[in-house]
Amino acid sequence: MFQVVVGALGTALLLWGWSRLRQAKAARLGVTWWQFLQIDPVAAGVAVVLVASLVAIPAEQRQRLDRSLREFSDLLREIVDVMHIAKGHP
């Protein structure tokens, strides 16, 4: 049930964003979509490769990667907390 709600909210947000984007583009008639979005082709290519790589790896490896990134995030959070305490912040 939770996945259905999240999926519906995501779809609604996507449709709302797409309509807003089309309205904004309509206000600037003289530019192409590439100019309007100011997309850097290299950055777009890197993003596509990263997303495709994440989709392509097996679920077990994705779960291990997720777990490792969460552990790394927790470690960074602990370091920041220690730095705040060392500086005298509560």
Digit-by-digit pLDDT tens for the chain (90 residues) are 778 888 899 899 989 988 988 888 888 888 887 787 777 778 888 889 988 988 888 989 989 988 999 999 999 999 998 988 888 876
Do residue 55 and residue 34 come from a single domain? no
Do residue 51 and residue 19 come from a single domain? no
Do residue 89 and residue 45 come from a single domain? yes
pTM of the predicted structure, to 2 decimals: 0.43
Do residue 53 and residue 67 come from a single domain? yes
Biggest distance spanned by C-alpha atoms of the chain: 56
Do residue 61 and residue 26 come from a single domain? no
Do residue 25 and residue 67 come from a single domain? no
Do residue 31 and residue 49 come from a single domain? no
Do residue 28 and residue 61 come from a single domain? no
What is the structure's pLDDT at 26?
87
Which residues lie below 8 Å from residue 24, measured CB to CB, with a gap of 6+?
36
Give the whole-angstrom CA distance, residue 22 versus residue 63: 37
Structural domain span for residue 59:
40-90
What is the structure's pLDDT at 74?
93
